[in-house]
């Protein structure tokens, strides 16, 4: 009995030594450390939080809006809305003179949702842009089933065209271009002077005389 116990104990000890030795050897080949670069990058897929440069703002898009293109975009709305003066309400309200109008009011007794009636304010360019991008985000609970226009230029063109349909509010000026960080102080001053001159219809400060080469910007 004692010999059998010693034999079993010996084999168990031997097995433990083998297992320990195997763990030490395998650790030489396999590391649990985090690699400096995880996996492989997939081209064309941006990491979360990364994105391209922001596009032009609403004011800039409105200042350069294509009215004819906006009328074409309205074709997406025509199944539910009329926009002619005195036009009948349909699935949605008539949209004549909507730009600048109170939100959720008027329109010949159209039954607006409580979500819009309680929104308050007026249909400013900014509110219309937000509404057209996502009606459900602008007024949660709205009866509007249209998902929205994802293209900012399409929204600006549509708003500019709608503005010509009975509202005719002045469009905002384009946002100022960001300053060029690489320009010298003299170049920046010359650029500012030229921008002001072009707005007033004057010749830029560094414009060339008639028939001559352009004069270099000062301050270099």
- What is the chain's Cα-based Rg? 34
State the alpha helices, DSSP H only, in 67-210: 67-73, 114-117, 125-133, 135-138, 152-163, 185-200
100-151 per-position pLDDT tens digit: 999 999 888 899 999 999 999 999 999 999 999 999 999 999 999 999 999 9
pLDDT at position 76 is 92
The model's pTM is: 0.60
Q: Is residue 209 a contact partner of residue 201, using CB atoms and an 8 Å limit?
A: no
Neighbours of 175 (CB within 10 A): 13
pLDDT at position 110 is 94
* Residue ranges covered by each domain of the chain: 58-163
Pick the CATH number of 58-163 from 3.40.190.10, 3.20.20.80, 1.10.3720.10, 1.10.760.10: 1.10.760.10
**Closest-CA residue to 91 (of 69, 107, 115):** 107
pLDDT at position 177 is 79
């Amino acid at each position: 009995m004692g010999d059998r116990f010693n034999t079993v104990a010996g084999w168990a000890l031997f097995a433990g030594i083998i297992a320990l030795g195997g763990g030490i050897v395998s650790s030489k080949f396999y590391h649990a450390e985090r690699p400096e670069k995880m996996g492989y990058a997939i081209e064309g897929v941006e990491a979360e939080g990364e994105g391209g440069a922001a596009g032009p703002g609403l004011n800039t898009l409105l200042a350069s809006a294509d009215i004819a293109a906006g009328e074409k975009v309205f074709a997406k709305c025509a199944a539910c809305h009329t926009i002619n003066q005195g036009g009948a309400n349909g699935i949605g309200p008539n949209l004549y003179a909507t730009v600048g109008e109170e939100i959720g009011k008027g329109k010949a007794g159209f039954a607006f949702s409580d979500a819009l009636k309680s929104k308050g304010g007026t249909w400013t360019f900014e509110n219309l842009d937000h509404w057209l991008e996502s009606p459900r985000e602008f007024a949660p609970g709205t009866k509007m089933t249209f998902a929205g226009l994802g293209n900012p230029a399409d929204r600006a063109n549509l708003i500019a065209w709608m503005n010509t349909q009975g509202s005719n509010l002045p469009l905002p000026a384009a946002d100022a271009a960001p300053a060029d960080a690489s320009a010298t102080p003299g170049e920046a001053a010359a650029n500012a002077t030229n921008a002001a001159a072009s707005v007033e219809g004057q010749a830029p400060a560094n414009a060339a005389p008639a028939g001559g080469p352009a004069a270099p910007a000062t301050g270099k």
